[in-house]
Chain A
Amino acid sequence: MGTRNFLWDFGKKCFTFGLIGLTISDRYASIAHVQGLSMYPTFNPNARTFMGSLTDDYVLLEKFCLEKYKFSHGDVIAFRSPNNHREKQIKRIIALPGDWITAPHSYDALRIPEGHCWVEGDNSASSLDSRSFGPVPLGLACGRATHIVWPPQRIGEVERRIPHDRISFG
């Protein structure tokens, strides 16, 4: 009798904390695990070594930007991949709606349609980004990376970096 009460209480507490945790991670902030080298050296600068791959970066994603979908140039965002909705990717916004961006290795200029953005990884050599799948709808965004929270020696803010040579603002 006592054990059943205890289990019931414990279950209720778990359920409550689960609900609160889910709400907080949806509306305010959550932690994301960054895998891969597409944002080298901003994230995972040690991934090339064996020990380095055990200490992948974890970043804090803030969700306040999803209220009005207001992003700035140089923000690092997490978004659902346009080709596979189950995958999430984390890249830097290079251009916002209305900007003109020069396509890589050509003299063409592309205008970013409204409601879309152009994302690129910091490590151009090994990054699948808007250069392969085109502008990404802003509705796919699921958070903005503001700080690195793990490993402890890399705790700090994620800086905004804008490559001025390739875009002209609309």
Chain B
Amino acid sequence: MGVSNVKQWSRIVKEALDRAFFTAKFLCLLHVSNTYLCTVALAHGPSMLPTLNLSGDLILADRLSVRFGKVGPGDIVLVRSPQNPRKIITKRVVGMGGDRVTFSVDPKDSRRCETVVVPEGHVWIAGDNIYASTDSRNFGAVPYGLLQGKVFWRATSFHITLGLY
């Protein structure tokens, strides 16, 4: 009587451990593919208008391009903000290390332009909507190590539709 109880119990425990291990394996697979292959992000805000929406776009970013240095001017990238490391921002790469970048300092107030040379190992990022974007014009060139991924696909757009009826 006691022996069959122990046998039943050990079977239940073994099955529970198997399921727990399977779930752990699945979560590890999710983590590795999110960190090393491809990640999903929700980008919102006005700084990348008209490319990305104000109210939110679900974008896919691949991590391999950044790891192997295949990022160049014109790419949209996810960057860990140098002003707040807990925030990830979406901007476009304008220049890589060694490039000379010209930008308008304050497009709303004046037409003054400045030219800088991007230091080695850094990138110059800018939002497509220069009137409403905090980017390298405010915090300077960003170290390449802060890049998190290169955006390659916009999965969905969340439009706010204004009814005109």
Contact = CB atoms under 8 A, between A and B. Distances in A.
Interface of A: 16, 19-20, 22-23, 26-27, 68-69, 80-85, 113-116, 137-141
Interface in B24-48: 24-25, 27-29, 31-32, 35-36
Contacts of A137: 80, 82, 85, 142-143, 146
Contacts of B25: 16, 19-20
Nearest to A135: B82
Contacts of B83: 113-115
Contacts of B35: 26
A140 B28 contact: no
A5 to B, nearest CB: 20
A103 B31 CA distance: 41
A20 B139 CA distance: 38
Given A20-B24, A20-B25, A69-B86, 4 more contacts: A19-B32, A23-B32, A83-B120, A115-B85
B122 interface: yes
A139 B145 CA distance: 8
Contacts, number: 69
B56 interface: no
B134 interface: no
Contacts of B86: 68-69
B144 interface: yes
B82 A139 contact: yes
B65 interface: no
Interface residues of B, number: 27
A81 B145 contact: yes
27 contacts: A19-B28, A19-B32, A20-B25, A22-B28, A22-B31, A26-B31, A27-B31, A68-B86, A80-B143, A82-B122, A82-B143, A83-B119, A83-B120, A83-B143, A85-B143, A85-B144, A85-B147, A113-B83, A113-B139, A114-B83, A115-B81, A115-B82, A115-B85, A116-B82, A137-B80, A137-B142, A140-B146
Contacts of B139: 113
A167 B115 CA distance: 34
Contacts of B142: 137
B84 interface: yes
